[in-house]
Structure 1
Amino acid sequence: MGKFDQHGLKAISPLGGHEPRADAFTGFLIREVTDRALASLAARQGQGQAVKSAAAAYLGGALAEAARWSAAGEFAAWWMGPDLWMVSAPHDSHELLAAELKRAVGGAGSVVEQTDGWCSFGIEGARCYDVLERLCNANIRAGKAGDATRTSIEHLGVFLLCHEPGERYSVIGPRSSAASLHHALTAAAKSVI
Structure 2
Amino acid sequence: MHDLAALTPLGAAAPRTDRVGAISVTEVTDRAIASVSTRNGKAKPFATAAKALFGIDLPAPGQSAAGPVWTLIWTGPDQWFAEAPFATHEDIAAIAKDALGDTASVTEQTDGWVRFDIEGPTAVDMMERLCPLPARRMKTGAASRSIIEHMGSLVICRAEGRHFSVIAPRSFAGSMHHALMASARSIA
TM-score bracket for this pair, using the shorter chain length: over 0.9
Of 153, 168, 174, the residue aligned with 1:173 is 168
> How big is the shift at 1:158?
0.8
**Partner SS state of residue 131, structure 1:** helix
Residue 129 in 1 paired to residue 132 in 2? no
**Partner SS state of residue 64, structure 1:** coil
Residue 47 in 1 paired to residue 46 in 2? no
Of 162, 181, 184, the residue aligned with 1:186 is 181
**Structure 1 segment 23-172 matched on structure 2, within 5 A:** 23-172=18-167
Q: Distance in 1 between matches of 2:44 and 2:179?
A: 39
> CA-atom RMSD, angstroms?
1.1
Structure 1 range deviating more: 44-53 or 63-72: 44-53
> How big is the shift at 1:61?
1.3
Q: Deviations over 1:89-115 (max 9, x none)?
A: 001100011001001111111000000
Q: Distance in 1 between matches of 2:124 and 2:156?
A: 13
The amino acid of 1:25's aligned partner reads: V
**Partner SS state of residue 140, structure 2:** coil
Q: Deviations over 1:2-44 (max 9, x none)?
A: xxxx843210000000000011011100000001100000111
Q: Which runs of 5+ in 2 are unaligned?
A: none
> How big is the shift at 1:55?
1.2
**Partner SS state of residue 90, structure 2:** coil
Q: Distance in 2 between matches of 1:143 and 1:42?
A: 25
> How big is the shift at 1:134?
0.9
The equivalent of 2:6 in structure 1 is 11
Q: Which runs of 5+ in 1 are unaligned?
A: 1-5
TM-score normalised by L of structure 1? 0.94
Q: Distance in 2 between matches of 1:49 and 1:177?
A: 37
Following superposition, which runs of at least 4 residues in structure 1 exceed 4 angstroms of deviation? none
Q: Distance in 2 between matches of 1:7 and 1:101?
A: 31
Q: Deviations over 1:79-135 (max 9, x none)?
A: 001100000000110001100100111111100000011000011001112111111
The amino acid of 1:146's aligned partner reads: G
**Partner SS state of residue 185, structure 1:** helix
**Partner SS state of residue 55, structure 1:** helix
Identity fraction in percent: 44
> How big is the shift at 1:150?
0.9
Q: Deviations over 1:129-188 (max 9, x none)?
A: 211111100001111001001111011111111111111111111001011111000011
